Amino acid sequence: MPDCAPPLEHITPPDHALPAGACDSHFHVFGPADVFPYAENRPYTPPDAPFEALRQLHRKLGISRGVIVHPGCHGYDLSPTLDALDRGAGRYRAVALLPRDVDEPRIAELDRRGVRGVRYNFVAHLANGGWDELAAMAPRIAPFGWHLCVHSDQASLPGLLPRLKQLSIPFVIDHMGRASAAQGTHSEAFEALLGLRDHPGAWVKVSGLDRVSASGKRPFADGEALVAALLQAMPERLLWGTDWPHPNVGGDMPDDGELLNTFLRLCPDPAMRQRILVDNPHALYRFES
């Protein structure tokens, strides 16, 4: 039985049309379990959220490109993610979970099919790999132009960033590092995140507004100050994502249209929207023109 709530069936319409080529840079595809079974030792069991439901969401939001973040509930079985990439006909890219013994031919195959990075979780209930495994993977994926995708939190982020900056490949910090909105924009974790503006290989996802919120109540307004600070400090290093279908939500289930409208309100400049929604993901994930 699922131990996660399903995403909202009905969402708020977008307030504005998105620029052509707009990208959702963080979401998951779950199952369907009767086709792609969940891993036996999975950290959570979600309700199915298949590719068809994802495409329906993106049509409602006006999104034409996206990045699938392979979920821990499927372990190292990339079948649902690769199926979505194949069915997406070039509109999607992916970030994978890979075992430490993955070989170069497998990495090359995944690159051809649209994988562009490897994800590591440093959040306690999702932890996979660890720093030593991450550091060993970096030189193996570097020849393919891949990046490291890091899911951290308020506790782990400050210690991770100095080590990540020593690596020779790009890295992406998910969900604004999950810095706590309750601690504001001057916490150690968030100030370290803002410091990435001077690092050319660093990217930050403006996603997971509900995950940084202390209230857990829609529309998660207490997290908006973090978004605004990132927009002011480093728009050239930002990506935006829904985090659909929002697994392991502790409070209100996010409304993806509401999340998008919050971003559009905080980022009213068309040129900045173009950069964050289109140009930045195009550069990092290497979509076809």
Domains delineated in the chain: 23-285 (3.20.20.140)
Lookup: tokens for 247: 């697994």
User: Which residue from 22, 14, 171 is spatially nearest to 91, judged by alpha carbons?
Assistant: 22
How confident is the model over 235-269, as pLDDT tens digits? 999 999 999 999 988 899 999 999 999 999 999 99
pLDDT score for 125: 65
pLDDT averaged per 10 residues in sequence order, the chain, 289 residues: 92 97 98 96 95 98 98 97 97 97 98 98 76 96 98 94 97 98 96 96 98 96 98 98 94 97 98 98 94
C-alpha to C-alpha distance for 47 and 213, rounded to whole angstroms: 24
Phi, psi angle pair for 252, to nearest 5°: -65, 145
Which residues, in sequence order, are CB contacts of 272 under 8 Å at separation 6+? 231, 235
Which one-letter DSSP state was computed for residue 36?
S
User: Which residue from 188, 263, 216 is spatially nearest to 24, judged by alpha carbons?
Assistant: 263
- Type of residue found at 192: A
How confident is the model over 133-179, as pLDDT tens digits? 999 999 999 999 999 999 999 999 999 999 999 999 999 999 999 99
- Name the residues annotated as catalytic: 243
Whole-model pTM? Answer: 0.97
